[in-house]
Amino acid sequence: MLLIPAIDLKDGQCVRLKQGDLKAATVFSDKPGEMAAHWKDQGARRLHIVDLNGAIAGRPKNEPAFKAIMKALGGEIPVQIGGGIRDLDTIERFLDDGATYMVIGTAAVKNPGLLQDACVAFPGHIIVSIDAKDGKVATDGWSKLSGHEVIDLAKKFEDYGVESILYTDIGRDGMLTGVNIEATLKLAESVSVPIIASGGIASLKDIDALCKLEAEGITAAILGRSLYEGHIDFKKAQKRADDFAKK
């Protein structure tokens, strides 16, 4: 199980939200590069970057912060980035700047042709993000609920050739209430591409529960507030996940 620290960017700072509410942002650092270096030093094997302003604006708004992160990492670990990724030119630009994976969310729902084209143009580099509440898919920085069902969309995106599916229960994100195991497992059982779990992971108990389901296709988990508030020690958590895999 790959554990991935998240760095959420708002106005150039590293923040965490509760249920995607930009007004409820807690600032953890104003030096994104230093934060990225910290997680690398803690043994992170990948980072998850979200441009929160970009998700709302529909175009990237924190590129200087992203470049500071890439400089600090020195190409040593892969980075996946999302938030405001709406066209192929933007995808190509970020990949050229060092990103390994591009996370497409809103655009995948509203313009599935873009996702399909991206998977063809950049095979192995496209992660689709499905953000949901009560089984319905949300878009536009989680500000709007669509009528789409999670499973139906996931199967369609799988056919396009996405590298993996990032699934977030937005009702739990940033709330430290525990990951939605049931919904995440249901999704994993419905498709054959890897699932990255996100939203609500609060303790090692959640890590253990996800590790037990790795054989079902849940191969990674994104950690945010639980790390920044000290509920989970990243180094210990990744070792625990690694040890579980050896059993």
Active site residues: 8, 131
Q: Which of 71, 80, 43, 62 is nearest to 166 (CA)?
A: 80
Both tokens of 18, joined, read 């509760």
Number of helices (H) and strands (E) in the chain: give both, helices first: 11, 12
3-state helix, strand, coil in the chain (%, to 5): 40, 30, 30
140 CB-contact burial (10 Å; exposed 0-12 / middle 13-18 / buried 19+): middle
Q: Which of 37, 35, 29 is nearest to 10 (CA)?
A: 29
Beta-bridge mates of residue 27:
15
CA angle 198, 23, 4 (to 5 degrees): 25
Q: Which of 216, 226, 224, 222 is nearest to 194 (CA)?
A: 216
Tallying the residues shown for the chain, one arrives at: 247
User: Which residues does 101 contact at the CB level (< 8 Å), separation at least 6?
Assistant: 78, 79, 80, 81, 125, 126, 127, 163
